[in-house]
Amino acid sequence: MTDWQTMTAADLGRGIAKGDIDPVELTQSFLDAIDAHPYRDRIYARVTPDRALAEAKAAQERARLKLRRSPLDGVPVSWKDLFDTAGTVTEAGSKLLEGRTPDSDAEVLQAATHHGLACLGKTHLSELAFSGLGLNPKTATSPNIHNPDNAPGGSSSGAATSVAFGLAPAAIGSDTGGSVRVPAAWNDLVGLKTTSGVLSLKGAVPLAAKFDTVGPLCKSVEDAALLFAVMKGEGAIDLTPTSLKGKRLAILTTTAFDDIREDPRKGFDHAVQRFRDAGAEIVDIAIPEVETAMALSAILYSSEAYGTWKDVIEANPDIMFAEILARFRSGKDFTAADYVAAWQTLERCRAIYAQATASFDAVLCPTCPITPPNVERLMTDSAYYVTENLLTLRNTRIGNLMGLPVLTLPTGTASCGVSLMANPRDERRLLRLGLAAEAALA
């Protein structure tokens, strides 16, 4: 039997379509792998075997009748524990929500289930999704694929590691400031941050709703494209082989290379050279408005996050991880006038960015300027925690602030990704471009 744990979700789906893979056996194999794994409880907050096997059984019958609902019908996936699951606890990595049990599934989970995906369970995350490091001493800190003592990236930490350790073919996470792309990059996966509003957030525990997005973490661009289509409830994206030849790509020099460390720079330079070798035209571009927007991050993110959670937090602040609590509370001192003015400035920056990048197929930057830091030092050195957390999310936040879809791909240097940023709501073209970029990097 082929090792299903190493296959892409798309390949598993093709195996089901051909009759070579039975969805029930496939799902049971992942459930068995989860239960046998030493990091099971650091990756999964809870496993849902009854649901997964019932959904796999239905997929098995559809496959027998040649009535499969999507290319991924019968493939099991994991879900970040901020997507509501009917009758199953959903706590968003926080003791503040302990025992919270929703009555219905999140809309994206409903869509995925309708298209035949089986829910393996819920994965750990940073507390209330408010950290790019993936460090969560209140529930669990997932292990990094390269070194279990290093941070996994967050906030979709368990999502990434469930795939990296072979405990799910693919995972669904969320991204507010980098929470899909950082853990994808640090665990050598493909991650897609979608445009805000493109995929439903109904039934997803919010952090900062104006920036919150849903996105897959997986082993290939094809997987990302199939999962995006499934969650959007649309037909599969045309993934006919394409090329980078003649494509115009820009390297964003503003902010993205400040304080970058050796390995991320090395991985990025390697990726750029491969894209050039594949025929892409690549030029540097500076957009000062990106720096202007970055300076507004504290107002925009912390104000909304604290405004959303202040009553819950202040009712029981002592049960929170101190670093996350401090980050939330940093939003309480901004005025409504500050917040409104910041959004007006951001909209102007977005318009200038759109004009400056209109002639390019995508804008490139290193996904993260640092590699995974050591968890023990993060826990004992507060200044180090703050510095590393801010740097971790620095580059990814550009895509959120500019309102863009972004795809991160592994560069071949461990824990280092390259990001391709496209125009708002242009996910389908970005994924086709990503397919060509992935081929160039192979």
- Assess contact for 15 and 59: CB atoms under 8 A: no
Q: Do 374 and 263 fall within a single domain? A: yes
The single residue of 78, 142, 155, 220 carrying the catalytic annotation is 155
Q: Do 342 and 282 fall within a single domain? A: yes
Q: Do 64 and 116 fall within a single domain? A: yes
Is 200 catalytic? The answer is: no
305 in any annotated domain: no
311 in any annotated domain: no
Q: What is the pLDDT of residues 86-143, one digit of tens each?
A: 999 999 999 999 999 999 999 999 999 999 999 999 999 999 999 999 999 999 999 9
Measure the CA–CA gap between 179 and 140, rounded to whole angstroms: 16
Q: Do 212 and 292 fall within a single domain? A: no
The single residue of 80, 122, 193, 219 carrying the catalytic annotation is 80
Q: Do 36 and 66 fall within a single domain? A: yes
Q: What is the pLDDT of residues 383-410, one digit of tens each?
A: 999 889 889 999 999 999 999 999 999 9
Q: Which two tokens stand for residue 208?
A: 């900062």
166 in any annotated domain: yes
Q: Do 99 and 159 fall within a single domain? A: yes
Taking 90 as the threshold, does the pLDDT of residue 297 lie above it? yes
Question: What's the whole-model pTM score?
Answer: 0.98
Q: Do 223 and 262 fall within a single domain? A: no
Q: Do 280 and 419 fall within a single domain? A: yes
237 in any annotated domain: no
241 in any annotated domain: no
* Total structural domains within the chain: 2
In degrees and rounded to multiples of 5, residue 419 shows phi and psi of -105, 140
Last residue of a domain, one of 202, 232, 262: 232
Which amino acid belongs to residue 139? T
310 in any annotated domain: no
pLDDT level of residue 1 (50, 70, 90 thresholds):
very low
CATH code for the domain of 392 = 3.90.1300.10
Last residue of a domain, one of 208, 232, 256: 232
Measure the CA–CA gap between 10 and 219, rounded to whole angstroms: 9
- Assess contact for 188 and 414: CB atoms under 8 A: yes
308 in any annotated domain: no
The three-class DSSP label of residue 65 is coil
Is 266 catalytic? The answer is: no
Location of structure tokens 């977005």: 350
Q: Do 32 and 56 fall within a single domain? A: yes
Is 155 catalytic? The answer is: yes
The single residue of 94, 179, 297, 302 carrying the catalytic annotation is 179
135 in any annotated domain: yes
Q: What is the pLDDT of residues 169-183, one digit of tens each?
A: 999 999 999 999 999
Q: Do 214 and 77 fall within a single domain? A: yes
Last residue of a domain, one of 175, 198, 232: 232
Q: Can you give the residue range of the structural domain that contains 137?
A: 4-232
Nearest to 74 by CA among 17, 20, 131, 124: 17
Taking 90 as the threshold, does the pLDDT of residue 236 lie above it? no
Q: What is the pLDDT of residues 343-391, one digit of tens each?
A: 999 999 999 999 999 999 999 999 999 999 999 999 999 899 988 988 9
Q: Do 226 and 339 fall within a single domain? A: no
- Mean pLDDT across 266-286: 98
What is the predicted pLDDT for the residue at 2? 60
What is the predicted pLDDT for the residue at 386? 85
Q: Do 190 and 253 fall within a single domain? A: no
